[in-house]
Amino acid sequence: MTYGFETLAIHAGQKPEPRTGAVVPPIFQTSTYAQDGVGAPREGYEYSRSGNPTRDALQQCLAALEAGHTALAFASGLAAEDTLLRTVCQPGDHVVIPDDAYGGTYRLFARVAQRWGVSWTAAKVSDVDAVRAAIEPGRTKLVWLETPTNPLLGIADIAALATVAHDAGARLVVDNTFASPYLQQPLVLGADVVVHSTTKYVGGHSDVVGGALVTADAELGAELAYHQNAMGAINGPFDAWLTLRGVKTLGVRMDRHCDNAERVAEFLTRHKAVAQVLYPGLPDHPGHETAAKQMRRFGGMVSFRATGGEAHAVEICNRTKVFVLAESLGGVESLIEHPGRMTHASAAGSPLEVPADLVRLSVGIETVDDLLADLAQALG
């Protein structure tokens, strides 16, 4: 039987606990497990780095939500990315990354993987031809996308770029953090691996850090699982439990995030202090048609450029009262930040440097009229 998204979010991997009937999977806060005999671990559990029932429940749920075969939960989104890189790449390989990507992802490629011998090229992922031109035949092992991108909210055509990557013998990786599996399922569109910072929309409450990889390829999933255990940056049982609790309400939360973001974006387009609004739900956004084709809705992230330049952008960030000045995104509360000085400071001076006048909003699920009033007073 095929279940709907919300049903899977509540039930996949989360059967009632067999001994007591508890409807919420327990937190198995243990490092090791008693074995029935030498070489006979009970239900396969030996040590919690290698396997934990709470983490397994989260992984099964995430696999179902992304229509994948294997999901793996990590200590952070970057831990998931690092494990993926070291599973499929070796010194001498090449990857294509977005020219607009999360600063931590850029730092991983430019300051860590590059020293290990993996080179990279930044390309505009909204331009299929630009991505094709950036591929180095025989060397490129991964084409890495964010869609929407962070923080400029560009849109990449997942299906088209899957074809481009596969024709070159590369795998397509999609960071689905901004969209969440509720709004977009990259594996269904041809991607090979989905990456999440589950800290964001999947967890949804700004109270836990985590990451995930999901793939439909059983063989690749087994390789990633081997490296998850061998490298050890796993999601702890309490963190997995918090994330699993959050994911149950992902569908209803994302609908409210989208409702509010649409109102915020429309408000900003009419304000004289705003030079440009970046939101894929706006009809004049260059990626609007592609986003409408591959996304259920357009998400809760909105970026804009201030008319008064960098100083004005910083002032706006400092003046909000309901929007909290903080890094991260995807929680129930609204956040505001200056990417150039905060989340993307590591990309300064690189091809991924963001405009100094840019402000990024993570639009929460508060009463939308309060959010609009707060932005009105902050914009001045």
Catalytic positions: 49, 102, 175, 200
Distance of alpha carbon 52 from alpha carbon 40, whole angstroms:
16
Distance of alpha carbon 186 from alpha carbon 131, whole angstroms:
17
| Strand partners of residue 325 | 336
Strands 119-123 and 94-98: parallel
* CB 151, CB 358: distance < 8 Å: yes
Distance of alpha carbon 11 from alpha carbon 264, whole angstroms:
33
| Strand partners of residue 171 | 142
Distance of alpha carbon 344 from alpha carbon 354, whole angstroms:
7
- Output the DSSP codes for 71-83: EEEESSHHHHHHH
Strands 140-146 and 94-98: parallel
Residue whose C-alpha is closest to residue 68's, from 200, 176, 147, 197: 176
Distance of alpha carbon 357 from alpha carbon 303, whole angstroms:
10
Distance of alpha carbon 8 from alpha carbon 65, whole angstroms:
7
- For the beta carbon of residue 86, count every other beta carbon within 10 angstroms: 15
The two structure tokens encoding residue 325: 């000045």
Peptide bond into 91 cis (omega under 30): no
